[in-house]
Amino acid sequence: MVRAPSRPTTALASLIQFLFRTLSLLPLPVLHALGWVLGWVSFLLSGRYRRRLLAHAKQAGISSDVARASVGEAGKLVAELPRLWLGRPVRVEWDGAELIELAQAQGSGVLFLTPHLGCFEITAQAYAQRFGAQHPMTVLFRPARQPWLRDLVAGARQRPGLLAAPTNLAGVKQLIKALKGGDVVGLLPDQVPPAGQGVWAPFFGRDAYTMTLSARLAQSADTQILVSWGERLSWGRGFRVHVRSFGPLAGDALVAARQINQAMEALVRECPAQYLWSYDRYKSPPPLR
């Protein structure tokens, strides 16, 4: 027997959805200002969060000034979501769009690899808006546990030119089908995968459990790999999507994982203040469900 959600839970969900929709109407500079405050409040109140962020930045050789700058950027990452999910389109500039055009002109599928750097939501949205009509992008999508958030996120991630695939075998098959059809797949390769779906490979000088899915996808079809990230411009002026070329991956899973981690490191070093240093990159992999 399925129990109906309690009234307090339903009321809270409705309140949060209302808050998201209200925030989505605000200008981006206002949201980023609120996010900067939110980032610093979280940093000051949570010792665990603070220690992890500083330790990861130090591990990568990042200065304390840059690490502190990343605190406000992490808050902006959260505060900009209502606008990106529910609000009017934001201003986007491109750096390297010609690489996408060249890859698609050759008729091959394209695998986009994007780290937790800048605004990774905007990279998929910007691609869908500019290129998705002919070659849609498919991204892996794990539904949120909370029903209220699940509806919000699903609506944001399912839009013209942007498709979502579940994080299971059926989803992987959907990604392979998209690549074989000459379409585009987007992944966050610095996300820790479940146990058995990755290898331990260096990331900023320390072993991190790294997904092998990126290499498997690249080798499953005639696929070109591009790396990208969405730079958050100052004073809420919008975003700039950077696209870089990436050479062929090795056939060995461990070597390929090292190649990918090195490519992600190079992107992070372009703008380390916008990397999500608080992400628990070096944790043990969760069990496969």
SS (H, E, C) 31-53: HHHHHHHHHHHHHHHCHHHHHHH
pLDDT reported for residue 1 = 44
Tokens found for residue 32: 């980023």
Report the phi/psi class of residue 73: left, alpha or beta, with left for phi > 0 and alpha for psi in -120 to 50: alpha
Cα–Cα distance measured from residue 282 to residue 138, given in angstroms and rounded to the nearest whole number: 27
For 91-157, what is the HEC assignment?
CEEEECHHHHHHHHHCCCEEEEECCCEECHHHHHHHHHHHHCCCCCEEEEECCCCCHHHHHHHHHHH
Q: What is the pLDDT along the chain (289 residues), one digit of tens a residue?
A: 445 445 556 776 778 788 888 999 999 999 999 999 999 999 999 999 999 999 999 999 999 999 999 999 999 999 999 999 999 999 999 999 999 999 988 888 999 999 999 999 999 999 999 999 999 999 987 766 666 666 666 666 678 899 988 888 898 999 999 999 999 999 999 999 999 999 999 999 999 999 999 888 988 877 899 999 999 999 999 999 999 999 888 889 999 999 999 999 999 999 999 999 999 999 999 887 6
Q: Could you give the C-alpha distances from 100 to 133, 144, 170, in angstroms and in order?
A: 14, 31, 27
pTM for the predicted model, two decimal places: 0.91
Q: What are phi and psi of 209, to 5 degrees?
A: -70, 120
